[in-house]
Amino acid sequence: MEAQNNEVLKRRQLLSSQIDLSKFNKDIFEKATDDEKRQQDVMGESTTFFKDGMRRLRKNPLAMGSIVVLVLILLTIIIAPMFCPYSYSQITNVGGRRDKSAANLGPMEYSQLETQYMEETGEKLFPHLLGTDSLGRDYFIRVIYGTRVSLSVGVVAAVMVLIIGLLYGSIAGYFGGTVDLIMMRIVDIIYSLPDMLIIILLSVVLNETLTPLLAGTALAKLGTNMISMFIVFALLYWVGMARLIRGQILTIKNNEYVLAARAIGTKDGRILRKHILPNCLSVIIITTALQVPSAIFTESYLSFLGLGVSAPLTSLGSLANDARGAMQSYPHRLVVPAIIICLIVLALNLLGDGLRDAFDSKLK
Amino acid sequence: MSEEKYLLEVEHLKQYFPVSQGFKKIPLKAVDDVSFAIRPGETLGLVGESGCGKTTVGRTLLRLYQPTAGRIVFDGDVLFDSDKGIDVDMLPYRKKMQMVFQDPYSSLNPRMTVEDIIGEPLDVHKLYSTKQERRDKILELMELVGLNAEHAMRYAHEFSGGQRQRIGIARALAVNPKFIVCDEPVSALDVSIQAQVVNMFEELQEKLGVAYLFIAHDLLVVHHISDRIAVMYLGHLMEIADADDLNDNPLHPYTLSLLSAVPIPDPKTARLSKRIILEGDVPSPLKMPTGCPFRTRCNYATDKCAEKMPELSDRGNGHYVACWNR
């Protein structure tokens, strides 16, 4: 057989790029060792879906920059209150005395009383990094607490939206048919309500009903406004998430691996958990990441309208609202919270985009 | 049919899917009155063109679809009988009947490792007592289908088509089934890999004594692996016979034209052979012709064909044909 092959090879065609074996001496070839054979193994290092996505995320400078910004903001709002001696609700005290002259200070300024005190005792007082507000409260610590409130509203709202949307959407998508039809019509109804109107109405109504309910509980500290805001988000914004997840599940459940799982006898719950949800995880992560800034945004303008958290607690939106009156005299009081809102929203949006690029298999 | 012991018997199986046209719902007759039987350890090949209901037959057998009518008997147990209203819980039977899918790319979950894919049937049917036992079983299965045990922790997308199909086969074998529906398991693979996989199916059958319903549209592959072959057209069974018998002595006009379309490797013989080219298109399954569905394209069609669908009739030697004229 081999001899025959060689015969054929000699009579090769003019333009053929076939190698003429007769020109080679068999002795000059040597056998590949096992080690060399292993080198031919084309399989790369095994990567998981998560590792693969993180690798791509690390290559995205915008997303990494956003993560750095967010981490810095987080660290600041966690650490700053620990060493800053002022409180967000207290008017500045000097040596136990209320300092009436401390109102409306500019950044890094000391009030008369404070300067006096420092000269008398030789003690150095902590500077007002961003000055004080019209009531003499340290503005830096108020911005820190405002950021805390805004971020936690954003994150809690996104998590609530995720939980409700995920449960609702996966049930509607997976069971389909009439179940899906009814559940999605409910979604359509909620979707068609003008959401700003509902938010404003709900926060007014909830405010009154919640106050007696919460009195004396740990939640009262948060303020009824904040809690009514959470409820509003949970009631209204899950519909988008539910629709999205339903759509994802509708496409994924027609895959053959779901059919294979059914042929094995896998129960519905396990199919959802093991086969369907992991495959729409990327979409879930991305939408949740993008939900946070939108919640922060809504919270900010609700606060701006005076429907946000109740005083003395503050949020970035209400800080901006308070600063509006004295905008020309003390522009930094408006600029600082506005910049922080922008930074957070921009960073989260860019991070969400980066996550989509990294984890969405369709964009690979 | 005869008194012989069959592993699987299917009688008058019908599978209609409702299709809505405007406000009306009309049935799409994907499988219409199909009857056949499979002996233990036997391979029945099922051929037919795309859209003729081969896959639906396979899936309905495993009760992945709810059959419209008919009777399915597996290993002496009636799984479904529309006349007597029998409709058993399939979970215990999922251990005995399994399926290998056509597309090795979409039939494996991209988020699961090979170990978890093959281990899933073990988990679902609780076929192990310790983690170590689970792992040993998985490695044993991987070895059985010719996969390297080192690859257990890898994801399906890291494998080639042939290897993926082996993973799918290992998953089907995990529960030690008596019967596997192979739904075009080789048609998505290239030819050299097809041969490997087909040979592996044969070796596994010898080792494990499992019966196959081998669905394919490549007649050469089917002839190679099957003991008997059934030919389908538009949801109807046209002919069923021993593989060699069908190849040498086809009776149904549709089988004749299918066989004439098989490529012949030797150009000299190929030039001499005459292809039977069918005229027209396959009718829509929503608007089936009356009587025999093949009559619109058949060279032998007569008035009788338009009146009534012929029953499968025995032409001796276990060769059944549904045709009035041949």
Is A260's CB within 8 Å of B168's CB? yes
Is B108's CB within 8 Å of A279's CB?
no
Q: Dump pLDDT digits (tens) for A57-66.
A: 888 899 999 9
Give the Cβ contact number of residue B14 at 10 Å. 18
- β-pairing, B179-183 vs B211-215, is parallel
Task: Note whether residue B151 is domain-resident.
Answer: no
Q: How confident is the model at residue B2 (pLDDT cuts 50, 70, 90)?
A: very low
Nearest CA in chain A to B121: A264
| pLDDT one-digit tens code per residue, A205-225 | 877 777 777 776 666 666 677
Residue B113 DSSP label: B
Domain that holds residue B243: 8-96+177-321
Give the pLDDT mean for B155-169.
88
Q: Do A279 and B158 touch (CB under 8 A)?
A: no
Contact A259 B91 (CB under 8 A): no
In this predicted structure, the answer to whether residue B140 has a pLDDT above a threshold of 50 is: yes
Q: Give the pLDDT of residue A1.
A: 44
pLDDT band at A176 (very low <50, low <70, confident <90, very high): confident
- Under the phi-then-psi rule, with left for phi > 0, alpha for psi from -120 to 50, and beta for the rest, what region is B41? left
Domains of chain A: 51-81+140-363 (1.10.3720.10), 93-136 (no CATH)
Minimum Cα–Cα distance from B177: chain A residue: A264
How many folded domains does chain B comprise?
A: 1
- Contact between residue B61 and residue B213 where contact means Cβ atoms under 8 Å apart: yes
Say yes or no for a CB contact (<8 Å) between B103 and A257: no
**How would residue B247 be classed by pLDDT, with cut points 50, 70 and 90?**
confident
Q: Is there a domain that residue B83 lies in?
A: yes
| 8 Å CB contact between B205 and B236 | no
Q: Does B157 or A71 have the greater pLDDT score?
A: A71
The residues near A12 (Cβ < 8 Å, ≥ 6 apart) are A18, A20
Cβ separation B120–A274 shorter than 8 A? yes
The A residues from 215 to 274 touching B (CB cutoff 8 Å) are 255-257, 259-267, 270, 274
pTM of the model: 0.76
What's the pLDDT band for A319 if we cut at 50, 70, 90? confident
Lowest mean per-residue pLDDT among A258-267, A296-305, B173-182? A296-305
In this complex, which of A49, A264, A281 lies closest to B120 when CB atoms are compared?
A264
Residue B268 in any domain: the answer is yes
Contacts of A15 (CB under 8 A, 6+ apart): none
B175 contacts A260? CB cut-off 8 A: no
Q: Report yes or no on B52 lying in a domain.
A: yes
CATH assignment of the domain containing B18: 3.40.50.300
Contacts (Cβ under 8 Å, ≥6 apart) of A215: none
In angstroms, the CA A350 to CA A60 distance is: 10
Q: Is the pLDDT of residue A9 over 60?
A: no
Strands (E), B39-128: 43-47, 69-74, 77-81, 86-87, 97-100
Average pLDDT of every residue of chain B: 88
Question: Is residue B197, in this structure, part of any structural domain at all?
Answer: yes
Nearest Cβ partner of A256 from B106, B111, B112? Answer: B106
* A60 contacts A350 by C-beta, under 8 angstroms: no
Looking at residue A115, what is its pLDDT?
79
Distance from C-alpha of B137 to C-alpha of A354, rounded to nearest angstrom: 41
CB pairs under 8 A between A and B: 71
Nearest residue in chain A measured CA to CA from B158: A43
Q: Which residues of B276-292 are buried (b: 16+ CB within 10 A; e: fewer)?
A: eebeeebeebeebbebb
Please report residues of B whose CB lies closer than 8 A to that of A274: 109, 112, 120
Which pLDDT score is estimated for B264? 83
In a domain, B74, yes or no: yes
Q: What is the pLDDT of residues A24-62, one digit of tens each?
A: 777 777 777 877 776 666 555 666 677 778 888 888 899
Tell whether B121 is covered by a domain. no
